[in-house]
Structure 1
Amino acid sequence: MSEIILHISSGQGPEECAWVVAQLAGVFAAEAAAQGLMCEPVEPVTGPCASALLRLSGDDVHAFVQARTGTIRWIGTSPFRPLHRRRNWFVAVKPAPTAEDALDFSDADVRYETLRASGPGGQHVNKTDSAVRATHVPTGLAAFSQDQRSQFANKKIARLKLAMLFDERRHRGAEDAKRALWSQNHALERGKAVLTYEGVAFRSR
């Protein structure tokens, strides 16, 4: 059984695009379930969010991800500005890069720190040091995870986020690496959407 982490990003888009990201997390979960696949958010998706990570697993997960990789268009009225004339909103979807994809990324250069988790997340919160911060020592890039149930799982997600930051740094330069991770909207190819959804029910077109 294969597993892929899918990254949905609103990039530099407005709040409507962040809203679409959150809605797509639910839409993809339903579509995956209909195909016999498992799909769950890596971290809680609550309200509009600039970025979401989904964990997908199953026998045909690669085909599912491939069909959704690229620009996704949503056609509808802004849920925040009903009088806004814009009707087309775009987000980006792609598999999250792994540490193995980043050729210069070495786990030997990563420092892990455990911290006490805070906020919602279950009985373990504020009782165990389950949260993890991963820092790439040579570059100073850091990523944090606290929403998984175990320290091991949080370490895995923090490492994944760090690999994503590292990949963005390699492609865009160190100056805006952290900001660039969640700022992909300018690269979206409008008019070349791989999938289009319409209305609040997110009907596929």
Structure 2
Amino acid sequence: MILLQLTAGQGPEECCLAVGLALKAIEKMCREHKVKVDIVTSTRSERSRGFKSVLLAFDEKDTVSVKHLALQWEGSMLWVCTSPIRPKHKRKNWFFSGKMFEANQQTLDRDITYQACRASGAGGQHVNTTDSAVRATHVATGISVRVESERSQHANKRLARALILQKLEEAKQETAEQDANARWQQHWDLKRGNAVRKFVGEGFKEVRE
């Protein structure tokens, strides 16, 4: 499974516009290469037509070409343009970024339990009378999501799997950041006195007391 997350970070509305334009460009590329792409989740900006963030899931039929496509949108990117929102603003450089996530679908499915459930939202008679919604739970971590945005259970299962993968990546990144902060905290926790080991001289010879 290959996911791509686009984000405007903490940038202004122009950066959100850039994410929206990038989304349109990616959808166009996918149509040209006949690659199916779904918007798993998105957060629209408050003032512009753009997005604060978008999570995309690509069809895995041709993993190599899909991965190549997604990697073209990974890293920090720059949109150079006079602000459509604030034409008199001097700034013309607007940054956004992309991050690709990849996981083996079969391995991921072995770690996830799926439960069909009745869709609760609006969507017509078909949605309301079938168990099209899906609740997915990652057994090892307890991470759970519920998806009912699509009409078919298969489509909702695919989106649920993508959301689980995103949350696992976020948890992994958070753990890495906590570990880095803990290592850096050691610089501040250094205390003089009560040494557990003692070394002397340029030869760094240990002295046992």
More helix by share: 2
Counterparts of residues 43-192 of structure 1 (less than 5 Å): 43=40, 47-49=49-51, 50-55=53-58, 58=62, 60-98=65-103, 107-108=110-111, 110=113, 112=115, 114-116=117-119, 118-119=121-122, 124-136=126-138, 139-173=141-175
User: 1:170: Cα distance to partner?
Assistant: 1.6
Residue identity matched to 1:149: R
Corresponding position of 1:202: none
Query: Does the 8 Å CA contact 1:98/1:164 hold for their aligned counterparts?
Result: no
TM-score, normalised by the number of residues in structure 1? 0.62
Corresponding position of 2:193: none
Corresponding position of 2:199: none
Residue identity matched to 1:68: W
TM-score, normalised by the number of residues in structure 2? 0.61
Aligned residues: 170
Q: 1:120-142 CA deviation, whole Å, 9 max, x = no partner?
A: 6x763333332223233554433
Residue identity matched to 2:97: A
Unaligned residue ranges in structure 1 (runs of 5+) = 177-205
Q: 1:73-110 CA deviation, whole Å, 9 max, x = no partner?
A: 11123343334333222222232333669x9x784464
Question: Closer, same or farther in 2 for the Cα pair 1:66/1:79, shift >3 Å?
Answer: same
Question: Which structure has more RCO (C-alpha within 8 Å, separation ≥ 6)?
Answer: 1
Q: Secondary structure at the match of 1:163?
A: helix
User: 1:154: Cα distance to partner?
Assistant: 0.9
Q: Secondary structure at the match of 1:38?
A: coil
Residue identity matched to 1:38: V
Unaligned residue ranges in structure 2 (runs of 5+) = 179-209
Counterpart-to-counterpart distance in 1, 2:83 and 2:67: 32
Q: Secondary structure at the match of 2:77?
A: strand
Counterpart-to-counterpart distance in 1, 2:54 and 2:92: 21
Q: Secondary structure at the match of 1:96?
A: strand
Counterpart-to-counterpart distance in 2, 1:142 and 1:129: 18
Query: Does the 8 Å CA contact 2:3/2:55 hold for their aligned counterparts?
Result: no
Sequence identity of aligned pairs in percent?
31
Q: Give the alignment's Cα RMSD to 1 decimal.
A: 3.7
User: 1:53: Cα distance to partner?
Assistant: 0.8
Question: Closer, same or farther in 2 for the Cα pair 1:111/1:7, shift >3 Å?
Answer: same
Counterpart-to-counterpart distance in 1, 2:31 and 2:109: 35
Counterpart-to-counterpart distance in 1, 2:163 and 2:91: 33
User: 1:163: Cα distance to partner?
Assistant: 1.7
Corresponding position of 2:181: none
Counterpart-to-counterpart distance in 2, 1:133 and 1:7: 22
Query: Does the 8 Å CA contact 2:116/2:153 hold for their aligned counterparts?
Result: no
